[in-house]
Structure 1
Amino acid sequence: MVEAFMLIQTEVGRAEVVAKQLGALPGVSSAEYVTGPYDVVVRVAAQTASELQTVVVPSVQAVTGITRTLTCPVAGAVHS
């Protein structure tokens, strides 16, 4: 399983709507609208890196209201 966080900027006033739409997409584990330089943070997952790049990320980027994305692959988990 390959996972990544996507940091998303949206059109003004669209963060909540975009987050709700993203939460319903296949491959999206969670979608939250936040404050700061990004409007929405999404955790995505796929079986392979190729699937993540060619299927999941483009489906997220296709949502109306998104102006910019930054995909940050998870390098590893730290458990306490």
Structure 2
Amino acid sequence: MVEAFVLIQTEVGRAEVIAKQLVGLSGVLSSEYVTGPYDVVARVGADTLDELQTAVVPSVQQVAGITRTLTCPIADGVQP
């Protein structure tokens, strides 16, 4: 499985609502609203990088109220 973090900026006051909407999308593993330069951080995954790029990330970007995203593929996970 290929995974990535999607850093999301939203319209003012929409972070919580958008974070809750994202968890219902296929390929979204988790979604949190945060403070700082980004409003929401979602962890997404797919079987292949192509599927991640062509299906999962675009479905996240189409959620109403999202103004900008930055996708950060996970190079290597570290387990405790």
Same fold (TM over 0.5): yes
User: What's the offset of the Cα at 1:77?
Assistant: 1.0
Normalised by the size of structure 2, how large is the TM-score? 0.98
Alpha-carbon distance between aligned partners in 2 of 1:11 and 1:68, rounded to the nearest angstrom: 9
Report the equivalent of 1:13.
13
Report the equivalent of 2:78.
78
Kindly report structure 1 stretches of 4+ aligned residues shifted beyond 3 Å: none
Equivalent residue letter for 1:4: A
Which blocks of at least 5 consecutive residues in structure 2 are unaligned? none
Number of residue pairs the alignment of both structures matches: 80
Normalised by the size of structure 1, how large is the TM-score? 0.98
| RMSD over equivalenced CA pairs, Å | 0.5
Which blocks of at least 5 consecutive residues in structure 1 are unaligned? none
**1:60 is paired with a residue of what secondary structure?**
helix
